[in-house]
Amino acid sequence: MPQAEDRRVRRTRRNLAEALIGLILQKGYERVTVQDILDRADVGRSTFYAHFRDKEALLLSCFDGLREDLNQQLDATVPTAAPRGQIPAAIFAHAYQHRPVYRALCGRQGGHIVSGHLHTLLTRSLGLGLAPESRLGPASAQVPAAVAAEFYASALLGLLIWWVRQDFPHGPDWMAGTYEALAHPGLRATAEMP
């Protein structure tokens, strides 16, 4: 039983991923060509296509790496059935830990592909603990859970991307706190009354 897989495979995939990320930062995802990746990673053309259908598949594999790592981190901090307040903080912390990758995937130069997948991911995560129909927000109106999830996920993703593109001008805790303050002003006012 092999320990994980052929060493050459790991090497190739890692080289390709690193090459792509570096190139995105240099010239932007759209302008990166498969040939660029090949040259930078020093990998043969046929080899590339043996691993990935196209440029986008490679990009998504990078994203998947991050995603797994994030899930692992979430499961670690909160063993089972977590209260959902943890998620935003975990996201910001994770992004801060992996600044270079996030810069490439969510930065100005990154394509919008990853942002889209992140959006889906966040919407699912935030909408997880919500009944299909229920009043939302600390206060009044009857807002369907799906809509609320959409609202909060978009807002969170907006802050995250803004943060990345401004090159992390604040700490992850500050960002998480700010998000909470904007998302649940009522709660915050109560909880932090001097």
Partner DNA sequence: ACGTTGCCGAACACTGTGTTCGATAATGGG
Partner DNA sequence: CCCATTATCGAACACAGTGTTCGGCAACGT
* Residue 157 touches which member of DNA, a copy of itself, none, C-beta under 5-8 Å by kind: a copy of itself
If binding is defined by CB under 8 A, does position 1 make contact with a copy of itself?
no
What are the angstrom distances between the C-alpha of 18 and each of 9, 29, 61, 132, 168?
14, 13, 12, 41, 21
> CA angle at residue 91 from 85 to 96, to 5 degrees?
135
- Residues that bind DNA (rule: CB under 7 A) add up to a total of 24
Distance CA 193, CA 48 (A): 57
- Residues that bind a copy of itself (rule: CB under 8 A) add up to a total of 35
Q: How many CB atoms lie within 10 A of CB 143?
A: 15
Provide CB contacts within 8 A for 153, sequence distance 6+.
119, 122, 123, 125, 126, 127
Task: List binders of DNA among 8-67 (CB under 7 A).
Answer: 8-9, 11-12, 33-35, 42-47, 49-51, 53-55
- Smallest gap, in angstroms, from Cβ of residue 62 to DNA? 16
* Residue 129 touches which member of DNA, a copy of itself, none, C-beta under 5-8 Å by kind: none
- 130: Cα within 13 Å, side-chain hemisphere: 22
- Smallest gap, in angstroms, from Cβ of residue 93 to a copy of itself? 18
* Binding map of a copy of itself across residues 96-135, x = CB under 8 A, - = no contact: ----------------xx-xx--x----------------
Q: Which amino acid is at 36?
A: D
DSSP element (H, E) containing 108: none
* Residue 185 touches which member of a copy of itself, DNA, none, C-beta under 5-8 Å by kind: a copy of itself
Task: List binders of a copy of itself among 150-179 (CB under 8 A).
Answer: 150-155, 157-159, 162, 177-179
Q: How far is CA 178 from the centre of its chain?
A: 18
Provide the binding-site residues for DNA, judged by CB under 7 A: 1-3, 6-9, 11-12, 33-35, 42-47, 49-51, 53-55
